[in-house]
């Protein structure tokens, strides 16, 4: 099997969205993916693109990807944020995850970012074990917070 890495292209978006849905199922949140293909393409390849990704191909078929964007930390400066990192289930155990993760680390260094960050679910033992091999730090004590579009609209309608 021949495995190669490359930067994602717009033509990859439909397959990437399929993998995103696979990840959502794995993370026990299959109904949470609401982005449309058009929104996804625009966000990655439109006039104001916000994300980039590396794609792993095995014998010409997309087997995984690592999608990231740059976030700014007032404490640390520019950092690469790894939003999604997945290898399709049937292609795990071939070193594709390591290839992708190593490529994102290299991107962080090449661009001069102050580090890279990501989230991992506390029950995802395979992922936690993978990250331990890199001697990564897994923080505790921080909770995720968010407002949905509906909540924002409700607050706006209430006069905020």
Q: What is the pLDDT of residues 64-115, one digit of tens each?
A: 999 999 999 999 999 999 999 999 999 999 999 999 999 999 999 999 999 9
Does 2 participate in catalysis according to the annotation? no
Which residue in the list 68, 113, 131, 134 is annotated as catalytic? 131
* pTM beyond 0.85, yes or no: yes
Q: Is residue 140's pLDDT more than 90?
A: no
Every domain of the chain and the residues it spans? 3-157
Tokens linked to 59: 């014998």
| Region 3-157: CATH code | 3.40.630.30
Average pLDDT, the chain: 95
Q: What is the pLDDT of residue 39?
A: 98
């Amino acid at each position: 099997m021949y495995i190669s890495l490359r930067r994602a292209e717009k033509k990859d978006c439909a397959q990437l969205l399929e993998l995103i849905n696979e990840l959502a199922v794995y993370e026990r949140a299959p109904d949470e993916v609401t982005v449309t293909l058009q929104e996804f393409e625009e966000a990655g390849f439109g006039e104001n693109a916000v994300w980039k990704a590396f794609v792993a191909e095995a014998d010409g078929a997309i087997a995984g990807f690592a999608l990231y964007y740059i976030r700014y930390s007032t404490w640390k400066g520019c950092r690469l944020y790894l939003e999604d990192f997945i290898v399709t289930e049937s292609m795990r155990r071939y070193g594709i995850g390591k290839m992708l993760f190593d490529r994102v680390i290299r991107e962080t260094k090449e661009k001069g970012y102050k580090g890279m960050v990501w989230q991992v679910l506390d029950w995802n033992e395979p992922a936690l074990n993978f990250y331990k091999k890199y001697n990564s730090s897994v923080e505790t004590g921080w909770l995720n917070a968010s407002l949905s579009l509906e909540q924002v609209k409700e607050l706006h309608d209430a006069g905020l």
